[in-house]
């Protein structure tokens, strides 16, 4: 019976080793599965974070684009409105020569340019209503009177006989000279409702 006992001992040892190896294999498998799950969760979190950053970046890009487009539309609207206000201002100036205080304004415009007038014969251009006032102001000076060009708006324009020197003090010239400042004022007014 010695052999049988030895064989049973060997079988028990083999089964114990087998069980130990199986136990270690199961533990190693659990550890590998846990690591794989942890790595999978980590990769999933990284993917979600990357996806969230990409979605956020795309959202910000779209919002920036929308804001830029909105500012461009607002800018265009503001420019159009500024141009419309300036056009209405010019229209208002076109009606000024029909008002009763216009002759007094023409006199002031003439007085402003008086120091700049050339010596000798001059050509004075003005509208019909201003012409009467200017003829009384130019007494004692050789002057030729002509109508103001149609594109001009009221006021007075004076040039020397050779047409080399021209002094212009028309309402349109003053408006165009003041245009940058007027546009800044209109823009300031539109910006602060």
Q: Which residues sit opposite 146 in a β-bridge?
A: 125
* pLDDT at residue 193, rounded to an integer: 62
pTM exceeds 0.85: no
Residues 153 and 172: beta-carbon distance below 8 Å: yes
Helices (H), 96-155: 102-113, 128-137
pLDDT, tens digit, 9 for 90 and up, residues 36-79: 899 989 999 998 989 899 999 999 999 999 999 998 998 888 88
* pLDDT at residue 162, rounded to an integer: 73
The token pair that represents 170 in the structure block: 């028309």
Task: Write phi, then psi, for 154 (nearest 5 degrees).
Answer: 45, 180
Q: Which helix (H) or strand (E) holds 154?
A: none
Kindly state the DSSP code that residue 149 receives in the 8-state scheme: P
Q: How many Å apart are CA 41 and CA 27, to the nearest integer? A: 21
Residues 149 and 125: beta-carbon distance below 8 Å: yes
* pLDDT at residue 165, rounded to an integer: 78
| Summary mean pLDDT of the chain | 86
H, E, C per residue of 36-97? HHHHHHHHHHHHHHHHHHHHHHHHHHHHHHHHHHHHHHHHHHHHHHHHHHHHHHHHHHHHHH
Kindly tell me the sign of the dihedral angle through the C-alpha atoms of 34, 38, 41, 47: negative
Residues of the chain falling short of pLDDT 70 = 1, 193
Domain coordinates in residue numbering, the chain: 1-98, 99-191
Distances (CA, A) of 179 to 85, 90, 93, 156: 11, 11, 13, 19
Question: According to the CATH classification, is domain 99-191 in 3.40.50.720?
Answer: no
């Amino acid at each position: 019976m010695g052999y049988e006992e030895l064989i049973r001992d060997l079988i028990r040892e083999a089964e114990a080793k087998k069980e130990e190896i199986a136990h270690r294999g199961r533990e190693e498998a659990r550890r590998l599965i846990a690591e794989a799950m942890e790595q999978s969760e980590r990769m999933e979190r990284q993917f979600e974070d990357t996806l969230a950053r990409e979605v956020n970046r795309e959202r910000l890009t779209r919002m920036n684009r929308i804001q830029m487009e909105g500012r461009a539309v607002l800018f265009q609207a503001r420019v159009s409105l500024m141009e419309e206000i300036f056009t209405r201002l010019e229209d208002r100036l076109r009606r000024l020569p029909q008002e009763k205080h216009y002759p007094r304004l023409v006199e002031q415009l003439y007085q402003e340019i008086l120091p700049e007038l050339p010596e000798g014969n001059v050509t004075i251009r003005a509208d019909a209503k201003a012409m009467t006032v200017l003829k009384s102001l130019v007494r004692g000076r050789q002057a030729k009177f002509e109508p103001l060009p149609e594109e001009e708006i009221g006021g007075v324009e004076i040039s020397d006989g050779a047409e080399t020197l021209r002094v212009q003090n028309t309402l349109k010239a003053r408006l165009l000279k003041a245009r940058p400042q007027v546009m800044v004022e209109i823009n300031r007014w539109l910006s602060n409702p």
